[in-house]
Amino acid sequence: MTTTHEYDVVIVGAGGAGMRAALESSQRARTAVLTKLYPTRSHTGAAQGGMAAALSNVEDDNAEWHMFDTIKGGDYLVDQDAAEILCNEAVDAVLDLEKMGLPFNRTEDGHIDQRRFGGHTRNHGEAPVRRACYAADRTGHMILQTLYQQCVKQEVEFYNEYYVLDLLLTEDPQAAAAGGEVAVAGVVAYELATGEIHTFRAKSVIFATGGAGKIFKTTSNAHTLTGDGMGIALRAGLPLEDMEFFQFHPTGLAGLGILLSEAARGEGAILRNSTGERFMERYAPTIKDLAPRDMVSRAMWTEVREGRGCGPHKDYVLLDLTHLEPAHIDAKLPDITEFARTYLGIEPYTDPIPVFPTAHYAMGGIPTNVTGQVLRNNTDTINGLYAAGECACVSVHGANRLGTNSLLDINVFGRRAGIAAAEYALATEAAPELPADAAAAVAGLVETLRKTTSVTGAESVAVLRRELQETMDRNVQVFRTAETLAEATAVIASVKERYASIAIHDRGQKYNTDLLEAIELGFLIDLAQLVVAGALAREESRGGHYREDFPTRDDAGFMKHTMAYATADGVRLDYKPVVVTRYPPMERKY
């Protein structure tokens, strides 16, 4: 059974980007938000440390310095026109949230307080600056709750636990004639509570589906971050941009990957090796522990490789808060310290915390312009299709995202996408007609998987997922070589071939998590292939992508964005230039 709905704007995803878009869109056009989770369970709520904006509440600061840090931090792969928008609109983005009621920490005179974060400096790298606006170490949680309250107040229509599985376009983007127009017609979703298929016809669609950290085993990402939106776009014939650039956050709890925010180092915590040395002084003499995340992660790995790791297996380093006052820790870092106590049995007042890099953030994603409109190649857009947040790549993060720029990104470009999508819908007389068999692909996928059993299918979803994640951890993490990437390529190809023979055990209609995980695995496999293919072709080191066999940055050969397409013959790579306006590439010292 298929139910059809019709809206002006459909937003897929109810995290920070999706709900910020919904607040703008729903003021202008009839809007629906589809989400496979209840909105306040979205992963924006896991973001801890802060949201960057040059408010100058605590120290002198300005948007130009913020822009420079964003570009330099992204190892010059940032599109500078987008970075300028991000930083110029940052102050209003924070003040908008304040007016909505977000309880930011305050200075003694009542202004929004700010603290230091990695890679954020004053005067073009002179010294660290206090730029991160924060609500203790629960900033993402507060943003998510605030935006949801505003959406409820504004009577935004939510379809909770609706898993979008297909994107409906008027024409295959790659089959369209050069310069020919392609438009969005809607999406198809699977209702988890009933097993029914729903078709949503719309003039505009916004993808805000989050990241894909679950391609790795050790990750700070929730189990639901399986790259669904990226995978749907890829299967619809769209390219994904810069997928080889994945950020590994330095301070995941050792062995678990659970995130300890950079806010700890922003408040004065120090990374130490087995000798007690503050080793970041050797790698980044000016800003030390607050260097960009890619640099800190490589430094930690290097300390372990060279025998200065801690613990019985010498496989982690220590995050030391013991020199900070307990009252200060409790006021500024309550969640971080509770995580250490709960998951490792460590008392942060008196003992350093074991930490090691964890897969954290995808810099790449669905390519967009600065209004959030999705590109179908290097230059042409799709009418009515938009994307924002971690699933998108407007390329404000380049090769390495600065901490606190993600919460800023979802608010600035979520807002822009919501406005643009609604304005396009209002200017469009009617959405394109849906094909008669609009839901056929999704219905076929669901029924095929539901009919498999352990008898007819020989492969386990859990086994294949584990093999995929382990090869990504082993071969495509902080350090990469042609040899490790070739091994990952072979393993992923094997997993993809065996995926055709998977079996699930639950054949029910309602809340079939077996079915859900099988579909998610398909997206993870597709995206892992793109990450590895892009990394193998990029024979240089830049930001989060570090090739030990090509250890230097190659601006002559690779100052360009990777555009990856899925074809019947495998991954096809194309490239497009980086937008450089004010800051040409220079040496990246801190």
The pLDDT of residue 172: 81
The predicted model scores a pTM of: 0.96
CA dist list (Å): 191 to 145, 225, 375: 24, 18, 29
Round the CA-based radius of gyration of the chain to a whole number and report it: 23
14 is in an annotated binding site: yes
Digit-coded pLDDT (tens) for 220-243: 999 999 999 999 999 999 999 999
44 is in an annotated binding site: yes
Q: Examine the residue annotation and report whether 582 is marked as an active-site residue of this protein.
A: no
Strand partners, 502: 459
- Backbone phi and psi for residue 10, each to the nearest 5 degrees, phi listed first: -115, 125
The half-sphere exposure of 325 on its side-chain side, counting CA atoms within 13 A, is 4
Per DSSP, the three-state class of 83 is helix
390 is in an annotated binding site: yes
Residue 171 structure tokens: 């024409």
What is the rounded distance in angstroms from the CA atom of residue 407 to the CA atom of residue 458? 43
Query: Are the C-beta atoms of residues 221 and 235 closer than 8 Å to each other?
Result: no
Residue 89 structure tokens: 């609109």
415 is in an annotated binding site: no
CA dist list (Å): 230 to 35, 159, 264, 416, 528: 15, 20, 32, 20, 11
What CATH number should be reported for the domain whose range is 452-551? Answer: 1.20.58.100
What is the rounded distance in angstroms from the CA atom of residue 453 to the CA atom of residue 506? 8
Sequential DSSP letters for 278-324: -THHHH-TTTGGGS-HHHHHHHHHHHHHTT--BTTTT-BEEEE-TTS
Residue carrying structure tokens 């190809």: 493
Strand partners, 460: 503
Query: Are the C-beta atoms of residues 528 and 215 closer than 8 Å to each other?
Result: yes
Q: Is the pLDDT of residue 96 over 80?
A: yes
What is the rounded distance in angstroms from the CA atom of residue 546 to the CA atom of residue 101? 42
Of residues 293, 298, 480, 553, which has the active-site annotation? 293
Q: What fold is seen in the domain 255-357?
A: Flavocytochrome C3; Chain A, domain 1 (3.90.700)
35 is in an annotated binding site: yes
Digit-coded pLDDT (tens) for 421-445: 999 999 999 999 998 899 999 999 9
110 is in an annotated binding site: no
Residues 380-402: what's their mean pLDDT?
97
What is the rounded distance in angstroms from the CA atom of residue 81 to the CA atom of residue 416? 14
389 is in an annotated binding site: no
Indicate the domain borders of the chain. Answer: 255-357, 452-551
Closest listed residue to residue 164, CA positions, set 204, 207, 202: 207
Q: Is the pLDDT of residue 209 over 70?
A: yes
The pLDDT of residue 453: 67
Digit-coded pLDDT (tens) for 15-54: 999 999 999 999 999 999 999 999 999 999 999 999 999 9
The pLDDT of residue 178: 60
48 is in an annotated binding site: yes
